[in-house]
Structure 1
């Protein structure tokens, strides 16, 4: 039986309810879980929250996600799945939303401080990123370098460090697993083009355009991670 969830770390609470359902045998090994939309309705949460919960269970080995087919309970084995500690880790979509709010403001201020040297640094990062779209690890490192370089324009070391820290939250096991499904050369190419729009606004010294370009970039990043694992067509929550 499902119980409506309280609004704190919803994805971990949702994962716990789904884990209980599986361990009780209500969905047997090899069977497909209900569609994301149905799970979201029954638990009273958004589909992105369900997606984050499913990622937790896959990291634990309880389920298998088959893109375009659905989510299936893993076959039983002699090895018990490792249940991850119920911590207060931020979910991937929480991280992206936080970055959108914070980095948009950073880009706005950076546009007031940008000079030829800082723009040249962005150009160098973008040129290297353009040649690394097939290498996710390198593209990720260059993506981080781009965002921290913008924060660095303001000349506040604490702000630069904070930007790096919040970016590095996407290296969690949950975010890494989510990225393994939705990130690839096509998404890095899209991010590169969005980075160029941000660079252009910064180079023009236009705070409003820089803020909007960053907001649009990180909003689209959230959208790229919001596809469905299942068979039904994607619809925004």
Structure 2
């Protein structure tokens, strides 16, 4: 009996290409890789996919990203087929959330209650007080999205939202976020949460759907644009 194996994630395929290129050029631990722009051009891959792959290799200990210097080969342990990083990438997760949670926000607007709006208001106050503290703001951010799903009155949707939001704590997502998230990005997220809250409170399903879609699209964009803005500091594009 033939057992189908799951397709390899795009970021894993790109990570393999990076390692193959390094091997072909005889790069060893301590040697510097080409810049991010050059790697993307040579491998013919998108910048987001390349970024996920580099972060994955960093988590695995295969590359080292040095601030103010560049990306270097490292001598991490060899990856195995059971590697825990063989899962959804951060951009794949954000895309899935955009599809699921936009529809959930639309339904929550149809069923909005004073209790839901009060819960969202309390969450926004908590988030405003925690934008400088990553350890505090992440669970507050997650609670906002779960509260909206709870507001649909559908326990399965609430559980699905909780599960998918929890994926941002994966090693790959956490490392990517650690490079690019900070008080400015959390303040942007807070403003976007406010727009979602207002649309739900107004009982406007279309506006709630669009506000959530925009928020998660902006979250994905921040991982790319912040990266570009921080190239000098991170030296990933030097």
TM-score (normalizing by structure 1): 0.86
Residue aligning to 2:62: 62
- 1:153-184 Cα deviation digits (max 9, x unpaired): 11000000000111111111000000111111
1:188 aligns to 2:186 (yes or no) = yes
Distance 1:96 1:67 in 2: 27
Give SS of 1:170's match.
helix
Give SS of 1:193's match.
helix
Residue aligning to 1:73: 73
1:83 aligns to 2:79 (yes or no) = yes
Higher helix share: 2
Distance 2:210 2:155 in 1: 24
Distance 2:138 2:112 in 1: 23
Q: 1:43 to 1:23 in 2, by over 3 A?
A: closer
Aligned-residue RMSD, C-alpha: 2.2
Structure 2: segments with no counterpart, 5+ residues: 1-6, 233-238
TM-score (normalizing by structure 2): 0.85
Number of matched pairs:
222
Q: Shift of the alpha carbon at 1:24?
A: 5.8
Distance 1:203 1:132 in 2: 23
Structure 1: segments with no counterpart, 5+ residues: 1-6, 232-237
Distance 1:142 1:134 in 2: 13
In the alignment, is the contact (CA less than 8 A) between 1:106 and 1:150 conserved in 2?
A: yes
- 1:86-110 Cα deviation digits (max 9, x unpaired): 5640000000111111111111111
Residue aligning to 1:165: 163
Q: Spell out the pairing of 1:7-86 with structure 2 (5 A cutoff).
A: 8-23=8-23, 26-67=26-67, 69-74=69-74, 81=77, 83=79, 85-86=82-83
